[in-house]
Chain A
Amino acid sequence: MLGYFSKVFAKSIQTSTTLYATLKLMYKHLDIKLVNLPLVKNTAIPLSKTNFTMLIAIAAVAILLSVFSYQYYTFTSAKISDIASHEVKTNAQIQVHDLSQILSNKFESISALLQTLADSPAIHNNEYNRASIVINTRQQYSNQLTDFYMWLDKNGKMNWLSNINQSAYQKYKGTDLSYRPYFSVPRDTHAAYYSSLIESNDKIPRLYISYPVINMTGKGSPGIFTGVVVASIRSITLGNVLQHQLIPQFNSTVGLLDRKGTVLYSSTPSFIGNDVFGKDIQSMLSSLLPSESIDSLNNLLRSSLQGSTGSGDISAQGKTSTISYEPVSINGKYFLTLYISAPHNLASDVGLLINQQKNFSTIIVIVIAAVAFGIAFLVFLWNKRLKVTVDKRTAELKTANEQLKIHDKMQKEFINIASHEIKTPTQALLGYSELLQRHPEKIEEISQAIFRNANRLQRLTNDILDVTRIESQTLKLRKEQFNLADLISSIVEDFKNDIQKKGSNIKLLYEPKDHLILEADKGRLTQVISNLLSNAIKFSKKNGGKISITTTMQNSNDDDKKVFVSIKDDGTGIDPAIMPRLFTKFATKSEAGGTGLGLFISKSIIEAHGGRIWAENNNSDAAEAGGATFYFMLPLLPTTITKITSPTTHNFV
């Protein structure tokens, strides 16, 4: 039992070790495998703790199943082996019983033949010729078993020996066999005699059955002993006859011992004639069997020689044989003991088969477990991929949500800017119109303020209308040919007047170099340049700020002539938060004021002229506030460029 469990345990350990190793290997290679997947390219995803635990659980279930199936099959195997052993035992018992009956019958029939011989008148009357025929005939009746029949006279001398020719008869005739018990015992007892094994003169071990020949002289008389008739049975013949009776499939062997324990027949020929407890046989057995098996074999033999029936199992070298024994009697008299040894081959064959089945089923369970493991692994993998997709989508949603929030914030900003831009001049108008009645003496100052604020409202209205036109794509350009340098000069002139009026000392620098002839909407370009200049002034240092306007021609090729205009200030620079949406609607910080529409409108105007507008901070590090430069590019008309002969330098304080 202990051995069985330790075997099961060892097997379980082995199985689980293998599975664990597989698991570890798969886990180790997981990253590499996942890296190869297109969806999760360059993303090594290790198994999550939960998934790893689940894989372990599957492996554990597989191990349990393997152990259970192994146990179940071991149990079944033992059970079936028991049944097969039992079958072998029963068969051996049945066979030994049947054979002993057959043997008894054969001996009894020989015995009966001898009796008829002893009673035969030819023998009684010493009619040798007739008697020899009768004896020969009787022998032929039983020649399956008997070797020869003999007739000895009252002195134990050979009268006749069956089945021999005349010359041999002459040789044996008169041989004195009176010393043999098969002569002396019936002579003395006037009864049948059954010998144990006797080695005859020709060195062949034989069994003898003898009957006394008694001449009955009258009723009640004991009779006169005139000789014996003897039947001889070769032990080897006896054994062979018995062996033939056995069913070959069982691989059984037969054995015979006489009452004294002398081996009459054995499948090992050297045993024949030896005492079963004698030195020779015992020393040979001790070389074949373990001592406890020899002890149980000897016990079995001893009880069998008591004349009893029985059986027992003897194990040697992992193989078990059942030995069944039964005494063979003649006319109720114990003569010898018959043994049948049946190996448990069949049982072990069945056991082997079941063992194979057990191993096979264990393998099947392991294979199923491996497949389940694989499927689970794939499912986890798929889950991972799903998770990656979900994460990606979630991130996209998050981004979209962020954008919505930004949009929402911008809308709020718009409302704020719009209401500020509308309400501020309106509030001023409201206030001043109230004051106008109370302070007629300040009429000039107040009407100027009213004019200023009404103007501001008008500008706002124009801007909004422009945006509406841009968005409905109805912005119309009234194009005319003019020199951009002249336009810039006149705008700069106006601005410097304004600056002067306000008492500021911002410097505005512009040096017209070239004739920049283009075909454009003068009013709209004025709007753009004014907007860029206002912004530059707005963000410039109030004291000592400097704004320079430069124009650069590109491409002397007449067909593709361009002008780049830059407006550079040394103010606060562009807020990095605004930079990405600088030219979009409402791109302003409300602290800075303004509608945030100017640059949007400027961009639309420049692009409507086939140009481009952009901006950059003068210092890459915005914190250093080196001011900003706004650029716009416009295509020029392919006309001859004439240098302005005496360029005017405008330095305005």
Chain B
Amino acid sequence: MIVDDESDIILSIKIGLEDNGFEVDAFSEPLLALSHFKANSHALVILDIKMPDMNGFELYREMRKIDEKIKVFFFTATEIYYEDLKEIFPTIDKRRFIIKLLAIEGLEIKIRTELIS
């Protein structure tokens, strides 16, 4: 699942990943995304951080309540939110942060590595 309020970004990534054999649900509204998220329904979520209505951290927290083992990537323009994230989830790995810009190919590799581990 991919959630980002910029529809052009999710669209390009959705098509790119689907070309590589992934099944992708894309949402530009976090609350809508949350309503489609179920336990074990998704292997991994890619979340933008700054979004209207609900930010990426809150969304991740809510998703963990549904599926506590859900794997996550935060897809963001800057690193400055990493410190904020560490306050909320002190054990979170920096690898979970994917800084834009990244080609779809690069993203695909990261996703595969994550899914295998």
- How far apart sit A452 and B8, CA to CA, in the bound complex (Å)? 9
- How far apart sit A587 and B40, CA to CA, in the bound complex (Å)? 41
Which residues on the A side are within 8 Å of B101 (C-beta)? 423, 426-427, 430
| Smallest beta-carbon distance A275→chain B, Å | 119
B116 at the interface (CB under 8 A from A): no
B104 at the interface (CB under 8 A from A): yes
A447 at the interface (CB under 8 A from B): no
How many interface residues does chain B have, given as a range?
20 to 34
A485 at the interface (CB under 8 A from B): no
- How far apart sit A411 and B9, CA to CA, in the bound complex (Å)? 26
Could you tell me how many residues of chain A have their Cβ less than 8 Å away from some Cβ of chain B? 27
Within 8 A of A (CB), among B44-63: 50-52, 55
A556 at the interface (CB under 8 A from B): no
> B12's contact among A419, A423, A435, A593, by CB below 8 Å, is which?
A435
| Smallest beta-carbon distance B84→chain A, Å | 11
CB nearest neighbor in B for A445: B11
Residues A591 and B51 in contact, CB atoms below 8 Å apart: yes
- How far apart sit A419 and B77, CA to CA, in the bound complex (Å)? 6
Which residues on the B side are within 8 Å of A553 (C-beta)? none
> A420's contact among B16, B78, B104, B105, by CB below 8 Å, is which?
B78
B5 at the interface (CB under 8 A from A): yes
Give A12-40 as 1s and 0s: 1 = Cβ < 8 Å from B's Cβ atoms. 00000000000000000000000000000
- How far apart sit A452 and B104, CA to CA, in the bound complex (Å)? 20
Give A207-236 as 1s and 0s: 1 = Cβ < 8 Å from B's Cβ atoms. 000000000000000000000000000000
Residues A423 and B103 in contact, CB atoms below 8 Å apart: no
Residues B103 and A592 in contact, CB atoms below 8 Å apart: no
Which residues on the B side are within 8 Å of A453 (C-beta)? 8
Give A399-439 as 1s and 0s: 1 = Cβ < 8 Å from B's Cβ atoms. 00000000000001001100110111111101110110011
CB nearest neighbor in B for A435: B15
Residues A434 and B105 in contact, CB atoms below 8 Å apart: yes
> A434's contact among B80, B81, B103, by CB below 8 Å, is which?
B103
CB nearest neighbor in A for B75: A427
Residues B13 and A412 in contact, CB atoms below 8 Å apart: no
> B5's contact among A434, A442, A593, by CB below 8 Å, is which?
A593
CB nearest neighbor in A for B20: A438
Give A379-394 as 1s and 0s: 1 = Cβ < 8 Å from B's Cβ atoms. 0000000000000000
Give A318-349 as 1s and 0s: 1 = Cβ < 8 Å from B's Cβ atoms. 00000000000000000000000000000000
| Smallest beta-carbon distance B43→chain A, Å | 21
> B16's contact among A431, A452, A592, A593, by CB below 8 Å, is which?
A431
Residues A592 and B52 in contact, CB atoms below 8 Å apart: yes
A291 at the interface (CB under 8 A from B): no
CB nearest neighbor in B for A421: B77
| Smallest beta-carbon distance B114→chain A, Å | 20
CB nearest neighbor in B for A413: B80
> B80's contact among A416, A424, A435, A438, by CB below 8 Å, is which?
A416
B23 at the interface (CB under 8 A from A): no
| Smallest beta-carbon distance A434→chain B, Å | 5
Residues B15 and A428 in contact, CB atoms below 8 Å apart: no
Residues B80 and A431 in contact, CB atoms below 8 Å apart: no
Residues B103 and A591 in contact, CB atoms below 8 Å apart: no
User: What are 22 inter-chain pairs, A to B, with CB distance below 8 A?
Assistant: A415-B78, A416-B50, A416-B78, A419-B100, A423-B77, A423-B101, A424-B6, A424-B9, A424-B77, A424-B100, A428-B6, A430-B101, A430-B103, A431-B8, A432-B12, A434-B12, A434-B103, A434-B104, A435-B19, A442-B15, A449-B8, A591-B50
> Knowing that A416-B80, A423-B77, A434-B16 are A-B contacts, what are 16 other residue pairs whose CB atoms are under 8 Å apart, sorted by A's residue number?
A412-B80, A415-B80, A419-B77, A420-B50, A420-B78, A423-B100, A423-B101, A426-B101, A427-B101, A431-B9, A431-B16, A432-B12, A435-B12, A435-B16, A449-B11, A449-B12
